[in-house]
Amino acid sequence: MFYELAISLSWPSKKAVAIILGIESSCDETSASVCIDGKVINNEIAGQDIHEQYGGVVPELASREHQRNIVPVVNHVLTHAGINVKDLDGIAYTRGPGLLGALLIGSSFAKAMASSLDIPLIPVHHMKAHVLAHFIDDPKPTYPFICLTVSGGHTQILRVNSPTEMNILGQTQDDAVGEAFDKAAKLLGLPYPGGPMIDKLSKEGDENKFSFAESEMPDLDYSFSGIKTSILYFLRKEVRKNENFIDENLNDLAASIQKVLISMLMDKLIKAAKQENINQIAIAGGVSANSGLRERLEQEAQKKGWDIFIPDFQYCTDNAGMIAISGHLLFQEQAFGKLTDSPLPRMPF
């Protein structure tokens, strides 16, 4: 009876000024943020170091840490923003994609809080939120724009027409580029997460020292499984000849691996911009924090006259700031959810 009553409530119409609480819990970061009138006030993230000893995220442990962190994190951002819970106009949360247990913690908390306050729930697609993170700070892109979204679980090229209309132009058909970075780092004996370590080491290396075979895919799609295999076989061959090969060439290996992965990303992005005849180009997702990718994007922008958009570092990895700004934009569209909405680990785009 309670659910039937809550679902039938009539929520407020479009408001010029809205206060939105954003909650992100898709993987191993518990994050909350407050957005007032389209301005992200704060962005609190509680990370989970417990996964380092396992070389990757353990879903059950992630869920437990979310349960431990979500109340203090939400309380902190509200207190820091000077917001009473009764001031909130809506609560945005990550519905998917992500780890089911992790998503359940965030969505259950958001539903309970929204129900008790009688305010709208705003379910947010995690990958679309990475794109909309470009609307947190100036300069902001204008529609339509092309966005390369790159993370540990996704690699996509999108044509973004509005906050609610994004078309996939190309995407990976197997592994994501973030996974390729992390698995290559593991082959080099680097700790998890390995992508940032490769980026750091590459600054002291020669990116032309070694070469690896790139995977070819039609149109604007990607494949990163082949490049991982190429790196694996290359290292096996060299280590048989010299067991200290990796240690002696670590910086050059990191730089060469980073170069080939960035080259694969940029080749398709250049094709997409030409195909769509759009010069507003953005990158988003955890891998958009990579310094090599940012430098290559800036180089191409100078050559081709692109206007480029790169989020601040804190909004590249998983964060609630992007959920809060998405909530603001979706609130204006009255794109509200229901208490019966279930988390979707494989939420379709």
Binding-site residue set: 126, 130, 149-153, 182, 195, 199, 290, 318
Feature table: binding site for Fe cation: 126, 130, 318
- Contact call for residues 35 and 339 (beta carbons, < 8 A): no
β-pairing verdict for 280-284 and 307-309: parallel
| Burial label, 7 (beta-carbon count in 10 A; 0-12, 13-18, 19+) | exposed
Q: What are the backbone angles phi and psi of residue 205, rounded to the nearest 5°? A: -115, 170
Core vs surface per residue 32-41: b (16+ CB within 10 A) or e: bbbbbebebb
CA atoms of 290 and 263, how far apart (whole Å): 13
Whole-number Å distance between alpha carbons of 217 and 206: 27
**CA proximity to 258, closest of 303, 304, 289:** 289
- Name, in order, each residue with C-beta under 8 angstroms of 325's C-beta and a sequence gap of 6 or more: 22, 35, 38, 40, 129, 132, 133, 135, 136
Q: Which residues are annotated as a binding site for substrate?
A: 149-153, 182, 195, 199, 290
DSSP 188-222: TTPPSS-HHHHHHHHTTS-TTS---PPP--STT-B
CB atoms within 10 A of CB 5: 9
Report the amino acid identity of residue 230: S
User: Which DSSP letter does residue 172 get?
Assistant: B
CA angle 107, 113, 114 (to 5 degrees): 85
> For residues 188, 189, 190 and 193, what is the CA-based torsion angle, rounded to 10 degrees?
90
d(CA 129, CA 271): 24
